[in-house]
Amino acid sequence: MIGASCDMYTNPFPSILIGCISGTMTCLCLHYFHKLFEKCKLFDTRGILYIHGFPGIIGGIISAISINTLNSDYYGIDKKIIK
């Protein structure tokens, strides 16, 4: 979750917040979805879906939100592209 979006922020608070959300979400998914998947006869023995899958999807959503919310004040305007 952190890799795609947190390089866009200059303040460390959003990075720490997104990291805490990712860790909490991984633990909760492992606890609750593991039981749900066993009832459906699906087995993720190594927890790859919980560790990489769900945080990756949410990380993509957070990255899209952060791209839309940041403006040119953070990075400046490239005068070659904008005429």
Overall number of domains in the chain: 1
pLDDT value, residue 7: 63
Domain that residue 40 falls in: 2-68
In a domain, 73, yes or no: no
Kindly tell me the sign of the dihedral angle through the C-alpha atoms of 59, 60, 62, 63.
positive
pLDDT value, residue 6: 62
In a domain, 77, yes or no: no
In a domain, 33, yes or no: yes
In a domain, 83, yes or no: no
Q: What is the pTM (predicted TM-score) of this model?
A: 0.66
In a domain, 76, yes or no: no
What would the pLDDT profile of 68-81 be if each residue is shown by its tens digit?
A: 777 666 665 655 55
In a domain, 53, yes or no: yes
What would the pLDDT profile of 12-31 be if each residue is shown by its tens digit?
A: 787 788 888 888 988 888 88
Say if residue 48 is exposed, middle or buried (CB neighbours under 10 Å; 0-12, 13-18, 19+). exposed
Q: Which residue has the higher pLDDT, 51 or 74?
A: 51
In a domain, 26, yes or no: yes
**Taking all residues of the chain, what is their mean pLDDT, rounded to a whole number?**
77
CA pair distance 50, 38, nearest whole angstrom: 14
Evaluate if residue 83 carries a pLDDT over 60. Answer: no
Q: At what angle do helices 54-69 and 12-39 cross, to 10 degrees?
A: 150
